[in-house]
A and B are shown apart, each in its own frame.
Chain A
């Protein structure tokens, strides 16, 4: 195949994959960083990295976990570069607050706040399970955990959210 045709084919493949999964990439980045502006930066970096290493993706059926892994690493790199402090829900920047301001109704807003306040180690597996539909096996691989640990974290995450929501309802 001629060089430029190879490049064109590569670009088509990339556009196809990204077209399907860019929303997942953004949402994952947003819930990892808890900041819409950072999420956009992370996704941009992740897209660039995905493009450069596209040839390492042997099977397009595995594109979703592959892209999510890239997003996860880019998010970690971003925070490493910026040395960002952990976020306090009471002192949010505009970009952080924007994540919570997008509330179709009060109930959903309360749940977003509860998700936001959850520790990273509980929020992330829940996002991967509920939003991304990854299996516990895939989550374990993604997060470098054992399957039992993922199940425990999922259980605890839901129990914590339930408690937070009950407390909010009681207020």
Chain B
């Protein structure tokens, strides 16, 4: 377990008492753990609002209540109306509301912005995340990955366009390469990504897509092949 993993774990659960080996050698993580535990105590006290007297409303006599029928299925015209709305939205152009409250013009914009929002993911390291952690982030019901994917040094669930998706990082020749598995984002063809410091692509894969982003000088062709060979959607 490294510092990043320990901090993530203790941040998610300050009562976590594993990682003793790492903790005994790392005073920074010891301090972080103590801070998180103190913070949690304070959060608990702050959340415990005083509860006013709440009167129980008048409760109907259930002996005389007749069960309602099952919720009816949507009628065909309703389905047509919904489908038409979806098509209209696609035609007009969908805007992407990111987790940070910013509305992105496209999936490509949100993907590029997300990479820079996660500085912790861009560490250069040769320490792989544990298999257990990887399985938590990429559960079997989303996708299966084999060892061809490369050395995965960061794995976290992140919100993209309202869906929680696996955000992975592997180490490339010129630094970290970000992989976003997007099982719910279908693209009709490869979408090229480009900004000042990075470039990449969103590749159509089955009913979803995979975004791969690296430094400008990174050759992504080989990495793309690796990823496409190692990832298989479960649905």
Contacts and interface: CB of A to CB of B under 8 A. Distances in A.
Interface of A: 3-4, 6-7, 10-11, 14, 18, 22-23, 26-27, 30-31, 36, 40, 43-44, 47-48, 51-52, 54, 99, 102, 107-108, 111-112, 115, 119, 121, 126-127, 130-131, 136, 145-149, 151-152, 154-156, 158-159, 161-162, 165
29 contacts: A7-B62, A26-B49, A26-B51, A26-B54, A27-B47, A31-B47, A51-B60, A99-B49, A108-B46, A111-B43, A119-B101, A121-B159, A126-B47, A127-B47, A130-B43, A136-B12, A146-B139, A146-B157, A148-B137, A151-B136, A152-B8, A152-B157, A152-B158, A158-B11, A158-B39, A161-B43, A162-B35, A162-B36, A162-B39
Contact of B56 (A18, A27, A130): A18
A5 B47 CA distance: 40
A117 to B, nearest CB: 12
A41 B101 CA distance: 29
Nearest to A30: B49
B61 interface: yes
B185 interface: no
Main secondary structure, interface of B, reads mixed
Contacts, number: 118
Interface residues of B, number: 40
A3 B63 contact: yes
Nearest to B164: A149
A148 B47 contact: no
Given A151-B12, A158-B14, A40 B137 contact: no
Contact of B59 (A22, A51, A102, A159): A51
Contact of A11 (B14, B36, B59): B59
